Amino acid sequence: MDPYRVVVTTHEPVAVWAPDAERIQLIIDDSTVVEMTKDDEWFRTNRPEGARRYGFRIDASDEALPDPRSPRQPDGVHEASAFWSPDESVWTDSSWAGVPVQGSVIYELHIGTFTPEGTFDAAIARLDHLVSLGVDLVEIMPVNAFNGTHGWGYDGVDWYAVHETYGGPDGLMRFVDACHARGLGVVLDVVYNHLGPSGNYLPRFGPYLSDGSNSWGQTPNLDGAHSDEVRAYIIDNALRWFREFHIDALRLDAVHALVDHTAVHILEELAVRTEALSRELGRPLGLIAESDLNAPQLITGRERGGFGLTAQWNDDVHHAIHVNVSGETQGYYADFQGLQALQKVLQEGYFHALTYSSFRGRRHGRPIDREHTPASALVVYTCDHDQVGNRALGDRPSAYLTPGQLAVKAALVLLSPFTAMLFMGEEWGASTPFQFFTSHPEAELGKATAEGRKSEFAAHGWNSEDIPDPQDPETFTRSKLDWSELDVNPHREILEFYTALIELRKTTPEFAADTFDSISVDVDPDAGWLVMKRGTMAVLCSFGDTATTVPLHIAPVLSYALIADTPEGTALGGHNVAVGRIVA
């Protein structure tokens, strides 16, 4: 006998896609059942009056599952969903005109470690720091619901819900509104290439996943039978962030792992729908792809056969800068040795463009059409969550580089024609690491994660005992920023230099130019210097430990350490950078 009481339905519609199910019941507050009506592949009913928590019971199962489109999971990803709708009175940004991605300065942060409290509301209290720094857009790492209290966010399973520990959907709304009140746009990192290992109930409802897999799990069903609804599930989710949460741009995680053999790739479809919504809302909306393919098609306009995304993360620029400043050449860094590699990426965007990649053992990439693609379609950085957190110890460049070396890296990124991105704490040379941390409640999953991490780095010669345990709460705690560092040197001096660089970027027309023909680069590998010319402005960098003279005279406007004008040119100390107008 059915243990639940069937009631008459009223009020708001409730729907769930379950093409293979014969019967679905809406379970309300653990005690009331509502029979749902099947309409093609969807089951529909209305929300009973006063209902708060809910789930779906499929066919003969006794288990009530969370909603695939759950807006809230207040008790965790394995428990009932909660009805939620945005409180429109929160918004004070009716005059918000938006911030375009291209040419901006983006600041990537992790809500859980940006402040000691690790919440949206606590992050709001630090936004004025970002304003004074000169940031345009705040990019937050994924905040969709995942199992556990803390993690990087890339193992989310409820894509429509906001992680409760951070403040849930209401907290995200307050955060976005506070950013807009200060003139800051918001980029949200979203993951559509896989789901996490705990709490993924989508396959119980329908064929959301394909038979294929990537490094993180099964891939979504983007081109098989019933894939139209799976694609709609993803696109509706993306557009919801723009519409309901007033998000300004999405960073699309690892799009190279989206397997789609249809004639219209899901990224192109998403771009078309995003542009339409942008016109409707009257403000710019951006799509930023993370991809390791060096495929210009992502950022090529649709009129020229591309997908028409706004921008793409570019690891090649990071790698070339990092190798030439730090001297590290292991793994995929090997191909980026020498100032000529740095010269190439600064002028052409990609290093690997139909060139041999020793790391991959094959030809890789394709050249960018620099005539029709702005340089600002590439997002570049000295570090990001991956380039720090996926090091064995999660150590930042500030842990092993001098302030002068950090200054060189910052100047090359912030005064380039590319869209620039900083990683939280970078601007003051934070001493705290950003390590890989998890909080899987399942003991076996936690153990497998920790052991997998250790074995991965042991294969590269690291002592496994040195690798932080992702499941250790201290690994998470160590990764929180120490804001007291801003008051002491060298942190304060580094912050002042970053602030000055961003000010130059925004106030000097030559540095504001975002085309590939607005930059030229000269190098002397033997003397250890590089000159990045932007019109009549020049950025002079020295890469060696000893002083060098660049055969160019400038009227200096900014330098990290003292420089001198000599008959031969500008004398720089080791690991120094100077910016100035070229003197004829």
Name the binding residues.
251-256, 315-319, 385-390
Query: Strand 53-58 to strand 81-82: parallel, antiparallel, or no bridges (unpaired)?
Result: antiparallel
The stretches of 390-438 forming alpha helices (DSSP H) are: 403-414
Point out the annotated binding site for substrate: 251-256, 315-319, 385-390
Point out the catalytic residue in the list 67, 158, 253, 384.
253
Q: Give strand pairing partners of 113.
A: none
Point out the catalytic residue in the list 248, 290, 427, 514.
290
CA dihedral 571, 574, 575, 579 (to 10 degrees): -10
Residue count (the chain): 584
Find where tokens 């990001």 sit.
384
CA–chain centroid gap for 21, Å, is 37
User: Is the Cβ–Cβ distance between 271 and 235 less than 8 Å?
Assistant: no
User: Is 253 among the catalytic positions?
Assistant: yes
Count the Cβ atoms, other than its own, within 10 Å of residue 95.
6
User: Is 229 among the catalytic positions?
Assistant: no
Alpha-carbon distance of 30 to 34, in angstroms, equals 12
Alpha-carbon distance of 537 to 4, in angstroms, equals 74
Task: Give 469-492 as a DSSP string.
Answer: PTTSHHHHHHTS--GGGGGSTTHH
Burial class (CB in 10 A: 0-12, 13-18, 19+), 517: exposed
Alpha-carbon distance of 472 to 303, in angstroms, equals 51
Q: Which helix (H) or strand (E) covers residue 236, if one does?
A: helix 227-245
Active centre residues (catalytic): 253, 290
